Amino acid sequence: MYELLIRIETLYLQVTPVWLVGIGAVTVIVGLLFWLAGAYFSATIIGLLGAAVGSFCGMLVSQWLGLNLLIAMTIGAAAFCLAAVLFRNVIIIVLAVIIFAAVAGATYSSVVLSKFPALRQAQAAPFAMRSFSNMDPALRLAYVEQIAQAEAGFMERFNALLEDALKTMTPHKWKLLLSVSAGAVACLLLIWLLKNLVFALCYSLIGTLLLFIGTESLLMAVDVQLCSAIQEQRHLLNAAYYGMVGLGAVVQLIVMRSRKPKQNQEIERTRKLAAKLRAAAAN
């Protein structure tokens, strides 16, 4: 978690405060929704996700086939949204497996990166791949400029950092693949036993991550570098993250449990109405 956030913080150093406030506000709002009510609004979230994917696919198709962009995106969004709602349970299971696999892979990667020695002074030779967690704060931006062009924009720097992280993990790719596979298998087993808990945890994992990123964006807008300030106590950040994940999952389970009586009442009303209609039709 800390490695991810410190890399994002380094990228944010050259982003204007207005953009940071906008990114932070939107991310915090969406994060709160996922963190505390993701399971409750599951159908809506899956539908919106399907619409977003459909819109993107429609945009690609319109470029390939020369179709009207708005029409192609609308059709794509509607088709994927309907498919997502119809196959909601299957999609949720697939997404849950992906999330658990990603968490397992990220956990193993953080262990590998934590073993890199600290870099506290500039090097004449090209920089070796390093962990930002163990890098001197003054050298992080210089490191980014080393692996990307100095005049590169935000996306170019982001891609450079992503490629750097992948290269760092290349020597450990088989162990990384094993950890990802273990996370996926564990998710499937837990779904078999504790389906509601797994789904609540997945929404809470995403929501908490978005809350952390959004909060970091807002702090950077007022020139507060939280990750750099707590570098020596970064374990506190991980503890806070997983604590919030657990809290969010518990809140979602409570909300879902309180929703069941209302659902049962609605089902019972529907049954009574159907019985009355059948009786009226028989008479």
- Looking at residue 281, its pLDDT comes to 62
Domains of the chain: which residue ranges?
2-258
Rounded Cα distance between 45 and 213, Å, is: 20
Task: Write down the mean pLDDT value for the chain.
Answer: 78
Q: Is 193 helix (H, G, I), strand (E, B) or coil?
A: helix
- Looking at residue 190, its pLDDT comes to 87
pLDDT digits (tens, 9 = 90+) for 3-20: 778 777 877 777 888 988
Tokens of 13: 């150093």
Tokens of 82: 């309907």
Identity of the amino acid at 14: Q
Q: Rounded mean pLDDT of 164-193?
A: 82
pLDDT digits (tens, 9 = 90+) for 190-212: 888 888 888 889 899 999 999 99
- Answer for the pair 169, 129: CB distance below 8 angstroms, yes or no: no
- Answer for the pair 141, 10: CB distance below 8 angstroms, yes or no: yes
- To which residue do tokens 């997404």 refer? 95
Rounded Cα distance between 64 and 82, Å, is: 24
pLDDT digits (tens, 9 = 90+) for 224-281: 888 777 777 778 888 888 899 999 999 998 888 876 555 555 555 666 666 666 666 6
Q: Is 119 helix (H, G, I), strand (E, B) or coil?
A: strand
Q: Is the pTM of this model over 0.85?
A: no
Half-sphere exposure for 12 (CA within 13 Å, toward CB): 30
**Partners of residue 119 on adjacent β-strands:** 135
Tokens of 215: 């909060």
Judged against a pLDDT cut of 80, whether residue 47 lies above it is answered with yes
- Answer for the pair 51, 80: CB distance below 8 angstroms, yes or no: yes
- Answer for the pair 126, 145: CB distance below 8 angstroms, yes or no: no
User: Which residue would you say has higher pLDDT here, 134 or 48?
Assistant: 48
pLDDT digits (tens, 9 = 90+) for 117-149: 555 444 433 444 556 666 766 677 667 666 666
Tokens of 124: 């004449």
Three-state secondary structure of 201-256: HHHHHHHHHHHHHHHHHHHHHCCCCHHHHCHHHCHHHHHHHHHHHHHHHHHHHHHH
Q: Can you spell out the DSSP letters for 126-145?
A: PPPP--GGGB-GGGHHHHHH
Nearest 10 degrees: CA dihedral of 196, 200, 201, 203?
140
Total Cβ atoms within 10 A of residue 56: 14
Judged against a pLDDT cut of 90, whether residue 179 lies above it is answered with no
- Looking at residue 32, its pLDDT comes to 92
- Looking at residue 282, its pLDDT comes to 64
